[in-house]
Every structure is written in C-alpha cells, then in structure tokens.
Amino acid sequence: MNKEILKAIGEALHGEQWVTPLSKDLNINRKTIQRYMNGELKINSGIASDLASLLSQRQDRIIKLRLFVDESFAAKDARLKAIKAILEGFVMTTKSIADQLIEAGAKVWEKDAMKRIYPSNEIAFKMGFGINFNDKKTQIVL
C-alpha cells in the first residue's frame, strides 16, 4: 500500500477532510496517518485489510440506500401512474357524456377552445342521468 492509495481511500470514505475520521475508523492516532502521508513512517501493511473492510461496509450501506431510493421512486411512480389513469378515465368519461348529449340533441355553443352544451330536461332524462333542472336549459362547460 502506498500513500496515494491511502489518500484515495480516505477521500472516498470521508471527503477532503479524511485524516481524522479515518484515524478514528482505524483506531489509530491521526498523527500516524499524517506521518504515513509525509513519508516519516512506512504504511503498516495490516491496515490494508481494515481499509478493505471499511470500503466494503460503506459499499453495503450505499447499495442499501440506493435500493431504498429506487423503491421509493418506483412506489411514487406507480402512484402517479394510477392517478394519471384515473384522471384519463375521468376525462374520457366526460368526453363520452358530452358526445352522448350532443348526439341526443343538446344545443352546443363553441368559441375558441371552449365548448358549452345546453341539455334540456328531456335530453337529460332521455340519457338516464336522473338530473332534474329547475329551468328549461342548463349549461355544461367543458
């Protein structure tokens, strides 16, 4: 093991300020790591297995977190798809009802993107909607 690898592992585990946290992980004095880095001491070969273990533990935590995040987004995506399907069904039903009213003879007024349908009581009852309008005409705005 050389100091470049030690530094790369330290930064991967703890970021730029890695010396003190890594010394705590390895249960050694931070000055020992500083001496490894400035060449005063030869890096103890025994810490290689400890570093491998630390990397493995971190990797396991990251994988578990990634799976949790993926599952969370998948659940959210499934809920959004269900809501979208419900809304699309509602829009289709609304359009279908509007088409049925027009086919039954309801009067239609259109301007730009707006369409108003004026069904009479007779048309509403004919369609089986069970709507009782108090006046002769009522508008549905789509």
Residue 24 lies in a domain: yes
* Shared-domain flag, residues 12 and 73: yes
Crossing angle of helices 47-103 and 19-26, rounded to 10°? 110
Containing structural domain, residue 70: 3-77
* Shared-domain flag, residues 112 and 48: no
CA atoms within 13 A on the CB side of 27: 3
Q: Quick one: pLDDT at residue 142?
A: 45
Residue 112 lies in a domain: yes
Mean pLDDT by 10-residue block, N- to C-terminus, for the chain (142 residues)?
93 95 96 95 90 91 84 78 73 68 83 80 70 53 46
| H runs (alpha helix) in 30-46 | 30-38
* Shared-domain flag, residues 32 and 62: yes
* Shared-domain flag, residues 60 and 99: no
* Shared-domain flag, residues 118 and 63: no
pTM for the structure as a whole: 0.51
Q: Quick one: pLDDT at residue 79?
A: 77
Amino acid at 68: F
* Shared-domain flag, residues 47 and 67: yes
Amino acid at 102: I
* Shared-domain flag, residues 99 and 44: no
C-beta neighbour count of 90 within 10 angstroms: 10
Residue 40 lies in a domain: yes
* Shared-domain flag, residues 55 and 21: yes
d(CA 97, CA 99): 5
For residue 1, give both structure tokens.
């093991």
Total number of domains in the chain:
2
Cα–Cα distances (Å) from 24 to 45, 46, 67, 102, in that order, read 18, 16, 28, 77
